[in-house]
Amino acid sequence: MRFLKAEGFVFGIGESGDVLAQLESGDCLDRNRVAHTMRALTCRSKEDWVNFDLVFRKYWFPLEVANHELDVLERVDSRNRNTQRLSGLAGASKESPRQDDEAGADGIGAGTARNISKADFRFINDKSAMRQAERIAERMANQLRRQLERRRTYRTTGVQLDIRRTIRKSLSTGGLPLSAVYSVRREKHPHLIVLHDVSHSMSWNNPLLFRFARGLIRAFSGSHAFAFHTKLFPVTQIYQEQSLSRMRERLEENNKLWMGGTRIAASVRTFNQKYSKSVLTPKSIVVVISDGFDTEEQENLNVEMNRLCSKVQSVLWLNPMLGREGVSTTASDLKRALPAVDAFLPANSLEGLQLAIKKIAGLSSL
C-alpha cells in the first residue's frame, strides 16, 4: 500500500484496512483477484485505473515490468517519430511540440476532462484528446450562458407568478396570499467584444482558442468578434457559422491567417477609430486573445488600450504565454506594462480558459 502511495495513488487508512480485510477473507486466492480488489479500493480516476496494472506488477513482478518498459519505450519512440504537427484552421503550424513533453496530456474518453484540463495546449498531441479539448473550449461559453440564464430574481411585480413561493409566503398569513411573488429572469447577458490575434505566433494554439472565441460569440447574441494580425477585420458573422467546416472555409477564403507578424497597437487603433462607436456600449466586456507580441512600440499600444478601456466596462486579456513553464512573465508584469487592462489571464490550458469564463460571469453580475 505504501508503494501505491509512493506511485501517486491517494487513499486513506480506511481503504488500506479494507484491502487487508479482503486479503484475509480468503476471497482473494489468485493474483488477478487480488489486483481487481486492490484496484477497486485504491483507484479514484481513470488515470489511476489505467496505471494500476503496471504499478501492481512493478511491485510484485519487477522482472516482467522491466521487459514491458522496454516495449513501452520502443512504442513511445515510434510514436514520437510519427508525431503530427499541430494543425491550424488554415494548415499546419510550423511549430512542433517538444518530444519530451508529449506524454503529458495523453488519454482520451471519459475522465479526459480531468486529464486535459490542466494540460498545456502545446502538449496535447493525441488527435482525439485535442478534438475533445476543442469541444470543451467551445462548450464553456454555452455553460456560462446557461448558468446566467438560470439566475432568476423574485419580485412583487411581474408576469410569471411563482406559485410555490407565493403559497409558501402565504403560510405566515394563515394561507391568505396577500402578496404574490413573481419570478423574473435576470436578463443580464454580457456584451462581449472579442479581439482575436490570428498572427503566426498564435498558430500553435489556434484551433482551441478559435473554438473558445466562436463559443463566446455564438452563446451571447449581440457580441462581436474581430480578428487581427497586421490589420483588423470583423469576423462576427464568420464565427456565427453553424458549421465548423464552413467557418474554416470562409476564414481561409477571405483572410490570410497565421502569416506574418502582429501589429496590435495599429489593430486596436483601427478598432477604436472605425468600429468602437457602432459596437461598444459602456457595459461591454472586451476580451483580447493574444500573446502580446507586437512589432510596434509598447507606448502606442498603451495609448490605444487606454482609449479602449475608457469606453467599456472591462478589458480582459487572455494570453497563451501566461502560465507556460519557462516563461517568467507574470500577469502582474503585464499589468504594469498595460495598466488600463483589468486582468491578464492565462489561455494556455482549459483550466485557464475556465478562469476567464468565471471572470466574465463575475463581471456579468455587476
Partner 1 sequence: MSLEIPFLTEQFEAAGYIVDPPLVTTLGLMQQLERPLLIEGEAGVGKTEAAKVLASVNNAPLIRLQCYDGLDLSAAVYEWNYTKQLIAIKANEGSQSDEKLDVFGQDFLMERPLLQSIRQPQSAVLLIDEIDRADEAFEAYLLELLSDFQISIPELGTVKALAKPKVVLTSNGTRELSDALRRRCLYHYMDYPDLNKELAIVYARLPEIDKKLGEQVVTFIQNVRLQDLQKRPGVAETLDWAAALIGLELDTLKENIDVILATKSCFLKTREDVAEIDTDVVSEVLNAVA
Residues of the shown chain interacting with partner 1 in the complex, contacts defined by CB under 8 A:
10-12, 18, 22, 25-27, 32-33, 36-37, 39-41, 43-46, 48-50, 109-114, 117, 127-128, 131, 135-136, 143, 146-147, 150, 163-164, 167-168, 170-171, 174-175, 243-245
Shortest distance, CB of residue 49 to partner 1, whole angstroms? Answer: 4
Shortest distance, CB of residue 113 to partner 1, whole angstroms? Answer: 5
Shortest distance, CB of residue 45 to partner 1, whole angstroms? Answer: 7
Shortest distance, CB of residue 148 to partner 1, whole angstroms? Answer: 12
State which residue, 150 or 277, has the beta carbon closest to partner 1.
Answer: 150
State which residue, 40 or 259, has the beta carbon closest to partner 1.
Answer: 40
Shortest distance, CB of residue 163 to partner 1, whole angstroms? Answer: 8
Compute CA distances 183 → 39, 148, 159, whole Å. Answer: 49, 15, 8
Burial, 297: exposed, middle or buried (Cβ in 10 Å; 0-12, 13-18, 19+)?
A: exposed
Cell numbers that stand for 57 in this block: 506488477
State which residue, 27 or 74, has the beta carbon closest to partner 1.
Answer: 27
Which of 97, 95, 93, 90 lies closest to 126 in space, CA to CA?
97
State which residue, 1 or 259, has the beta carbon closest to partner 1.
Answer: 1
State which residue, 151 or 231, has the beta carbon closest to partner 1.
Answer: 151
State which residue, 127 or 231, has the beta carbon closest to partner 1.
Answer: 127
Q: Say how far apart CA 195 and CA 290 lie, in whole Å.
A: 8
Query: Chain centroid to CA 300: how far?
Result: 30
Spell out a b/e string for 249-281, using b for 16 or more CB atoms within 10 Å of the CB, else e.
ebbeeebebbeeebbbbbbbbbbbeeebeebbe
Shortest distance, CB of residue 221 to partner 1, whole angstroms? Answer: 20
Sheet holding 284-289, edge to edge: 232-234, 224-228, 191-197, 284-289, 314-319, 343-346
